[in-house]
């Protein structure tokens, strides 16, 4: 499964260094750091980037703080079931408790990082318009009492630039070496926290591109799963285990989220004759498939269980299925699901009906 980072441009060098340090196979895509001057741009720009990448990457992580979006970024990520690194901004990510202590000690602290020191004139001065209106400096910085440079990598040239920035702002400079701090720790946790089931292991073995969509809580219905994953019902695949009356023979039948299965329409298409079909109980689902009710999928089933899809599934470019775990679902190409399940495609839904 390919992984992508959508990340703040202000974190680019540091994140790339961490990726190389741990040897992760990750592709990175930046959002311009100037968005911090206009934080209302951050969530829309992240969404545009995500829409371009979602077909090509199985896991997309967002490496951003809230950065002044007032919750808009987190609302967007919840909509699409995306993860972001913890933290309100890069100062907290680098400084951790040191940042909080410094703020408690002096609320009028202006912080710099390696990125801000390198680009002080472009990002800060030009970004705030001070290159054109230098008289605004006193208005902008009147209430600051000191500058604290949170240093990621010790570099005498950057220390000199930090001092020049402090001289320009006419504020005393303090330096605290933080390294990559909590940013590195949290990225490592994110990269090692990936959930696994027998279905994700199958996808990995088959080199299938897929995306993990976490749930806030266990889900048991298609509508609730779609809402928590931020997807439309038309992409959801309902997996329904049917049992032949009076026997222990089973069939896996699947329809799209807004369709209703016609259980008896399944029978004529099965390779061997079946009598009347009924819905399997929760206990039967677990005993036969190993899945929990609410987390069943048409994959990794016993060989003797035939799988049949409603033909409408074949028209879906992208589908959502249960993962075998109530706490996350999986998104993949419809063609990959059909191929891996070995499903027959037949008209088995009831038309013009609601679930």
Residue 135 tokens, joined: 């008289």
Residue 168 tokens, joined: 């320009």
| Residue 168 exposure: Cα atoms within 13 Å on the Cβ side | 18
The per-residue pLDDT for 274 is 87
Question: Distance between alpha carbon 257 and the CA centroid of its chain, in Å?
Answer: 22
Question: Distance between alpha carbon 343 and the CA centroid of its chain, in Å?
Answer: 29
Domain 3-85+182-192 annotated CATH 3.40.50: yes
Kindly list the distances between the CA atom of residue 19 and the CA atoms of 23, 25, 56, 187, 271, in Å, as whole numbers in the listed order.
6, 8, 20, 9, 51
The per-residue pLDDT for 353 is 46
Residue 350: partners with Cβ closer than 8 Å, 6 or more residues away: 259, 260, 261, 262, 265
The per-residue pLDDT for 299 is 97
Residue 246 to residue 257: CA distance in whole angstroms = 29
Question: What crossing angle do the helices spanning 72-80 and 42-53 adopt, rounded to 10°?
Answer: 20
Residue 153 to residue 17: CA distance in whole angstroms = 11
The per-residue pLDDT for 193 is 74
Question: Distance between alpha carbon 80 and the CA centroid of its chain, in Å?
Answer: 7
- Architecture per CATH, domain 201-350, reads as Alpha-Beta Complex (3.90)
* 318 within 8 A of 235, measured Cβ to Cβ: yes
Residue 320 tokens, joined: 């959502």
Question: What crossing angle do the helices spanning 181-192 and 12-22 adopt, rounded to 10°?
Answer: 50
Report the run of H or E that residue 167 belongs to, with start and end: helix 156-169
The per-residue pLDDT for 1 is 58
Residue 267 to residue 274: CA distance in whole angstroms = 6
Tokens 């472009």 locate to 122
Residue 326 to residue 218: CA distance in whole angstroms = 5
Bridge partner list, 147? 110, 173
Numbered ranges of CATH 3.40.50 in the chain: 3-85+182-192
For 215-242, the DSSP string reads -SS---SHHHHHHHHT--GGGBEEEEEE
Closest-CA residue to 56 (of 170, 189, 210, 245): 210
Residue 289 tokens, joined: 């498939």
Closest-CA residue to 79 (of 108, 49, 47, 52): 47
Bridge-based pairing of strands 26-31 and 260-261 is unpaired
* 240 within 8 A of 282, measured Cβ to Cβ: no
Residue 255 to residue 275: CA distance in whole angstroms = 21
N-to-C CA span, the chain? 33
The per-residue pLDDT for 352 is 55
Per-residue pLDDT tens, the chain, 355 aa: give them: 578 999 999 999 999 999 999 999 999 999 998 888 888 999 999 999 998 998 788 788 999 999 889 999 998 887 777 889 999 999 999 999 999 999 999 999 999 999 999 999 888 888 888 889 999 999 999 999 999 999 999 999 999 999 999 999 999 999 999 999 999 999 998 888 777 889 999 999 999 999 989 887 888 889 999 998 989 999 999 999 999 999 999 999 999 999 999 998 999 998 888 889 999 999 999 899 988 888 999 999 999 999 999 999 999 999 999 998 888 999 999 999 999 999 999 999 986 544 4
In degrees and rounded to multiples of 5, residue 47 shows phi and psi of: -60, -45
Numbered ranges of CATH 3.90.960.10 in the chain: 201-350
Bridge partner list, 239? 254
Strands lying side by side in the sheet with 83-84: 26-31, 3-8, 59-63, 83-84
Report the run of H or E that residue 79 belongs to, with start and end: helix 72-80
The per-residue pLDDT for 195 is 77
The per-residue pLDDT for 354 is 45
């Amino acid at each position: 499964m390919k992984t992508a980072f959508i990340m703040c441009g202000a974190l680019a060098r540091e994140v790339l260094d961490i990726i190389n340090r741990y040897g992760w196979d990750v592709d990175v895509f930046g959002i311009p750091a100037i968005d911090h001057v206009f934080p209302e741009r951050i969530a829309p720009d992240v969404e545009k980037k995500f829409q371009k990448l979602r077909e090509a990457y199985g896991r997309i992580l967002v490496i951003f703080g809230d950065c002044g979006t007032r919750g808009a970024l987190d609302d967007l990520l919840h909509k699409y079931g995306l993860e972001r690194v913890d933290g309100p901004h890069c100062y907290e990510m680098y400084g951790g408790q040191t940042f909080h202590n410094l703020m408690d000690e002096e609320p009028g602290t202006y912080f710099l990082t390696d990125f801000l020191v390198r680009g002080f004139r472009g990002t800060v001065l030009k970004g705030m318009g001070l290159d054109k209106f230098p008289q605004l400096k006193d208005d902008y910085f009147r209430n600051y009492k000191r500058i604290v440079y949170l240093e990621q990598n010790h570099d005498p040239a950057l220390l000199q630039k930090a001092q020049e920035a402090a001289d320009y702002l006419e504020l005393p400079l303090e330096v605290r070496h933080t390294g990559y701090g909590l940013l590195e720790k949290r990225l490592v946790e994110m990269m090692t926290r990936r959930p696994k089931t027998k279905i994700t292991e199958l996808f990995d073995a088959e080199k299938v591109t897929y995306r993990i969509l976490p749930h806030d809580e266990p889900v048991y219905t298609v509508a609730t799963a779609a809402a928590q994953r931020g997807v439309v019902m038309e992409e959801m695949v309902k997996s329904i285990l049917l049992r032949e009356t009076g026997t222990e023979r089973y069939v896996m039948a699947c329809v799209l989220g807004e369709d209703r299965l016609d259980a008896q329409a399944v029978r004529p298409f099965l390779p061997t004759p079946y009598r009347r079909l009924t819905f399997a109980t929760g206990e039967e689902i677990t005993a036969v498939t190993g899945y929990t009710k609410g987390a069943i999928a048409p994959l990794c089933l016993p060989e003797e269980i035939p799988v049949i899809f409603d033909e409408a599934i074949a028209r879906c470019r992208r589908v959502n299925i249960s993962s075998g775990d109530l706490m996350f679902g999986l998104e993949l190409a419809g063609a990959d699901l059909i191929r891996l399940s070995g499903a027959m495609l037949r008209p088995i839904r009831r038309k013009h009906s609601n679930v």
